[in-house]
Chain A
């Protein structure tokens, strides 16, 4: 079984409002899976269904090949976007309680907490109340509580919100380390640069429908337009511009160069080979810049959402 999580045509209605419409996704084991979508698309509803907080009206969910059931609660760790802790409860007591709810024994939970608190440098907060901590500190505790029971599947909804860059980096490294240790991570965020950086697979949900999914590289391959960003030094820039415009679809490019180069985005015609195009360019002048334009997740996101 290569997929840790499979949802099969999951639908959910709230009254007359359709929150999810036949959503099928497959999350490969050991991957970081980006669950993307604009606000109100239905991501949280899907996550809640995976966590068995809400039940789907239609469709089934499988975790590690088994139909999702109550025993899977301890296999999943969930860090919701709207998160918080009991304000007047002590950090240690609270973490112990939440860990025990996930099925850990008290002694086991205690020793693991000690390990994590040292790891994330939160050692002496055990007897502090949450209301005495800063937001970032509370977020760290929340993160520890989420991963403490070493679940197979971790679901992070906007995990970096509320962290300063240093701590965000710390958390990012921990997420990657957890992935390397065998956990699978579902990652829901609006920060596309972290999707770019972390995710192996993505699914894009828009208006309750899945409109895109697959390996990130495949998606990018699908969305690339065979366009190259070119910088070339010639004796007469205008002439070359004219010539290229006749052969290809060309637009002005924007990047920094040292000299007065002709800067263009050139979309090759189907069948054109980049190598041949490059050698063609070298006959026209001195090529100082030649880069294939790979669409960013951000571009893909905006483009697909707009088209739908």
Chain B
């Protein structure tokens, strides 16, 4: 008798009909949107505030580089002593005072510039001031040595390497960034999914144990069936929740950004990079939009989607069977701690490896090795795939994952079978191993 569909249906319906599940499903996107809006709003406020910086330039040669901008106003002080300037700045409660002493030697002058302020100033402000003064002094020194500054400017050449693979696919810096975003998103999604719904599975196993219905159930169905039904049913509920979050969240996001006029999408990395690249490199924006388009075209989308589905399912099932086994081994949630660490460790490790080594070198030894180790492979491999992973590596990794998954389900089912009927004491690892032999 195959009761799997029946069990899946029950698990799914109980999860979806659960009050806290419904509340979480509706509330989470709202809370997220509110938080994002607040942060976006506040950071806009922050940007809108103009800072007034007083400048006392005794050398008289630097002050003309300070041009007022949207966020910063420079107030040039003249013909007064440093102490007078300090008092004035304090009284007017300006942000700070830049003091430049008078020296004929530029090198000496450069060493006698000070910034006075109430609070310690932000790093970006200091480096902004430094670069302005540096540029000015360098130009002055060049002039003094008889070098034509205009000629240097005119002879400057900006280089943008056009990247192309041997197969003729055009790539660019933007390309890597886009790939990184897709990879990180996929890996992170899996990570979140495992943690949220793995826990849900564990709790539902514990609930069956504490309500003592378990013995009635397993006199009708095999424990493995019950376990798989639970995992699949809960996952379907999870996918439902995720889809609702995506749709509902996206909708809310659009509405909020329209109503409040706050652009919530503005701060995303690619555009920032685009602007930086455009202004620094000096080339026109259209080039970057072009490479943005190429980047998207270059994404191995078919591969990514297929791999995402396969690794997602494999990784999720692997971990959730472990969660189910833990749930079966203990009596209540507080006892789960000692078993949670070995599960969370490889998961967190995978995410960190993804962030640090895949970015650095997606095909390096560390990322390659960890994309084969089954407990980390789903996350790491998903992060690597946008950068183009050879098919044999993907298949091998998937094969190892499936093999481990089957082994884990077998092992988890053993623990589950014995554990669900054990009450009273918290088992040690040694006892768990003994259970496998029962």
Contact = CB atoms under 8 A, between A and B. Distances in A.
Interface of A: 14-15, 48, 51-54, 70-71, 73-74, 76, 78, 80, 82-89, 97-98, 100-103, 142, 145
Contact of A80 (B216, B423, B437): B216
Contact of A82 (B14, B212, B221): B212
25 contacts: A51-B219, A53-B215, A53-B218, A70-B1, A76-B219, A78-B215, A78-B216, A80-B216, A82-B212, A82-B215, A84-B216, A85-B211, A86-B14, A86-B207, A86-B211, A86-B213, A87-B207, A89-B14, A97-B6, A97-B10, A100-B3, A100-B6, A101-B6, A101-B220, A145-B216
Given A15-B438, A84-B212, A98-B216, 17 more contacts: A15-B434, A15-B437, A52-B219, A53-B421, A71-B1, A76-B219, A78-B216, A82-B212, A83-B212, A83-B215, A84-B213, A85-B213, A86-B207, A87-B211, A100-B3, A101-B221, A103-B1
A145 B220 CA distance: 12
Nearest to A81: B215
Given A14-B438, A97-B6, A101-B6, A78 B219 contact: yes
Given A53-B421, A98-B220, A102-B220, A80 B215 contact: yes
Contacts of A85: 211, 213, 216
Interface string B201-220: 00000011001110111111
B368 to A, nearest CB: 43
Interface string B413-434: 0000000010100000000001
A87 B206 CA distance: 13
From A48, A53, A85, A87, residue with most partner B Cβ within 10 Å: A53
A88 B211 CA distance: 10
A248 B211 CA distance: 58
A132 B18 CA distance: 16
Nearest to A155: B219
A100 B10 CA distance: 11
B317 to A, nearest CB: 23
B212 to A, nearest CB: 3
Nearest to A74: B1
Interface string B56-99: 00000000000000000000000000000000000000000000
A73 B216 contact: no
Contacts of A48: 421
Contacts of B220: 73, 98, 101-102
A89 B10 CA distance: 10
A83 to B, nearest CB: 6
Contacts of B221: 101
A74 B3 CA distance: 12
Contacts of B14: 86, 88-89
A25 B217 CA distance: 26
A127 B426 CA distance: 36
Interface in B389-438: 421, 423, 434, 437-438
A52 B222 CA distance: 9
Contacts of A70: 1
A87 B221 CA distance: 20
Interface in B174-228: 207-208, 211-213, 215-221
Contacts of A74: 1
| Residue in B1, B215, B438 with the greatest tally of chain A CB atoms within 10 Å | B215
B283 to A, nearest CB: 62
B215 A101 contact: no
Contacts of A142: 216
Nearest to B210: A84
A74 B221 CA distance: 10
A303 B151 CA distance: 116
A101 B217 contact: yes
Nearest to A51: B219
Listed from nearest, the 7 A-B pairs whose CB atoms lie closest are A84-B212, A101-B220, A80-B215, A84-B211, A51-B219, A78-B219, A84-B213
Contacts of A86: 14, 207-208, 211, 213
Contacts of A73: 1, 219-220
Contacts of A80: 212, 215-216, 219
Contacts of A98: 216-217, 220
Contacts of A76: 219
A89 B211 CA distance: 12
B286 to A, nearest CB: 59
Name which of A14, A76, A82, A101 has the most chain B CB atoms within 10 A of its CB.
A101
Contacts of A97: 6, 10
A87 B434 CA distance: 32
Contacts of B211: 84-87
B425 to A, nearest CB: 14
B268 to A, nearest CB: 42
A103 B3 CA distance: 9
B224 to A, nearest CB: 13
Interface in B217-267: 217-221
Nearest to A130: B211
A83 B216 contact: yes
Contacts of B6: 97, 100-101
A15 B437 CA distance: 8
Nearest to A55: B438
